[in-house]
Amino acid sequence: MPDEPQDQATPRPPRALGRKTIRPTLTPRELITPTPDLKGVWKAKVITLFPSAFPGVLGESLTGKALQEGLWQLEAIDLRQFGIGKHRNVDDTPAGGGPGMVLRADVLGAAIEAAQAGVQGHWPLIYLSPRGKPMNQALMRRLARTEGVTLICGRFEGVDERVLEQYRVEEVSLGDFVMTGGEIAAQALIDATVRLMPNVLGNAASVEEESFSSGLLEHPQYTRPAEWQGRAIPDVLMSGHHGEIARWRRAQSERITRERRPDLWAARDKPD
Ligand SMILES: C[S@@+](CC[C@H](N)C(=O)[O-])C[C@H]1O[C@@H](n2cnc3c(N)ncnc32)[C@H](O)[C@@H]1O
C-alpha cells in the first residue's frame, strides 16, 4: 500500500523513544532541551554565538539517536543573550591595539555564571582554543566519567584572558591550525566523549579494539567483495582461525603505530 500523504498542518501524536517522548516532527534544533534536566544524564552545555549550529552533526546517526533516547543531553547557550545594550554587544577592540575583536570578559563571565549555576558534581569548564592541550582519547575518557561539561566557543580573536583565569578554564585544542570559531571543535569533543558512554554504540567491543584504546592505532579493516580491482583480502582474515587473526591484527597495529606515530609508540602502555 502506498504511504499516506502526510498532513504537515496536523501535529502527529508523540512517539516514545526510550526514556523521552519525542514527536516525530522534531527538528534537530528542537532536540536541544535546556529544561527540564534528565537527572543523572551526562550533559554538554555549549556557550556559543551560533546556537543554531547545534546539534549539527551530533544530531545524526548514533549520537543523534542517543540524544533522542535521552542517553545524553545538549544545551546551546546563546552568548548574544548576555550582550550589552540595545545591540547586545559581545565584543570590543583588543586592549593595546591590533586587528579584530575580543569577546568581553563581563559578557562571557555572565554566560559562564548562568551555565554553571546549579551544576553538581565533577563538571569541567573548557575553552576550545588553538592554544590549548591537544584533544586525545584520554581526555574523552576523562570527560565521559564526569557529570557533564561546559564548553566555551570563541570567535574573532578569542576571549578576554581574565575570564580564563577567573574561572580556571581548561583550554583544549582540536589541532595545530586556526578555525574561525570553537563550534566544530566543540562538536568533535562531544562526539568523541558521547560514543564512550554505555549503550550509545551498538557494539561495545568496537570501543575496546579501536585506535588509541590500547595506545596503538587500529589494524587495517576489510569487507566484501573478497577481491576488488585485483586486490584480495589478506588470506589470514579469510582463514577463520581466530588466534592467527588476532596475532595478525596486533602485528599490523604495532607496525602502523611505529611507522606513523613514533610519539604514540614511545608512550604506549604508559598511564594516561
Ligand atoms: C580565529 S580563532 C582565534 C585565534 C586566536 N587569535 C589565536 O591566535 O590563538 C577564533 C576561535 O576559534 C576557536 N578555534 C580556532 N582554532 C581552534 C582549534 N584549533 N581548536 C579549538 N578551537 C579553535 C577558538 O574558540 C577561538 O577563540
pLDDT for the residue numbered 72: 97
Q: Which of 73, 84, 124 is nearest to 108 (CA)?
A: 84
Atom of ligand 1 nearest to the CA of 100: 6
- Ligand 1 pocket, residue 130 CB under 6 Å: yes
pLDDT for the residue numbered 8: 41
Q: Spell out, as residue ranges, where the chain has pLDDT lower than 50.
A: 1-18, 21-22, 24
Domains with residue ranges and CATH for the chain: 29-194 (3.40.1280.10), 210-267 (1.10.1270.20)
CA geometry: angle 179, 60, 75, nearest 5 deg: 65
- Ligand 1 pocket, residue 158 CB under 6 Å: yes
Asked if the peptide bond before residue 220 counts as cis, ω within 30 degrees of 0, the response is no
184 CA distance to ligand 1 middle (Å): 10
pLDDT for the residue numbered 202: 80
153 CA distance to ligand 1 middle (Å): 8
- Ligand 1 pocket, residue 56 CB under 6 Å: no
pTM of the predicted structure, to 2 decimals: 0.88
Choice from 50, 108, 129, 135 to test ligand 1 binding pocket (greatest atom count within 8 A of CB): 129
Sequence-separated (6 or more) residues with CB below 8 Å from residue 65: none
Q: Distance of CA 137 to CAs 168, 188, 192, Å?
A: 22, 12, 8
pLDDT in tens, 195-240: 999 999 987 667 777 888 789 999 999 999 999 999 999 999 999 9
User: What separation, in Å, do the N-terminal and C-terminal C-alpha atoms of the chain show?
Assistant: 57
